[in-house]
Amino acid sequence: MKLLLIEDDPTMQATLQRAFERRGMQVVACGDGTRALDRWRASAPDVVVLDLSLPGMDGLQVLQQARAQGHKTPVLILTARGTVGDRVLGLNTGADDYLPKPFDLDELEARVKALARRVGSPAEARREFCGMSCDEESGAIYFKDEVMELPPREAALLRALLARPGHAVAKERLFELVFPGEHEVQYEAIEVVVYRLRKKLADTGAQLVTLRGLGYLLKAQAST
């Protein structure tokens, strides 16, 4: 699932981005209302999480313009403006859901996934590559409809690569997803996880390729 997070508070933005990414989502973050529509168009998100108090352009104005331009992406407003009047205004402007701050991260995740399900399809929930697929609801990884028994770090790495098969994923990005918040871990540790996962993919038909200076990608093994 691809998520556009529009939140101007740097601490809140970083916290939410880490939380969503740990749950296997791809996050594009933006902290400026005037740039939000450009990010919206460029990232083509599945769900937008929108704060209302933004510099440059208020969140309601962003939402109003997005709807006027034909963007139908589900939007969850996440804001400190929590009165009934504020909620009604947000929903009437085009929001699909509204969660006031402070909030529970598990509830936020559940609401985001519920919005994605409204417009998604079963095929989108389980994208397949070389017989492998990742269930976005549970985070479980399957190979030929059997759950793959992987340690948490190998699973996090594989989920990130399965989200973009055939495309390079930066080493730095993978490190953040595999070792979230573990600042004491050496950067080279990601190479150990790659090595272990590569061996476990040997019989799947998928190949984990190292691209020097770019990162890693998954591709189908060449047939012999």
- Per-residue pLDDT, averaged over 204-217, amounts to 91
Structure confidence by residue, pLDDT tens digits, 112-126: 988 887 765 444 445
Does residue 221 have a pLDDT over 70?
Answer: yes
pTM: 0.55
The whole-number pLDDT of residue 126 equals 52
**Which amino acid is present at 201?**
L
Higher pLDDT, 95 or 222: 95
- DSSP for 92-158 reads HHT-SEEEESS--HHHHHHHHHHHHHHH--HHHHS-EETTEEE-TTT--EEETTEE----HHHHHHH
Domains of the chain: 2-119 (3.40.50.2300), 125-220 (1.10.10.10)
The whole-number pLDDT of residue 124 equals 46
Q: Which helix (H) or strand (E) holds 199?
A: helix 189-200
**Res. 138 pLDDT band, cuts 50 70 90:** low
The whole-number pLDDT of residue 117 equals 79
**Which amino acid is present at 108?**
L
**Res. 128 pLDDT band, cuts 50 70 90:** confident
Residue 211 pairs in a beta bridge with: 215
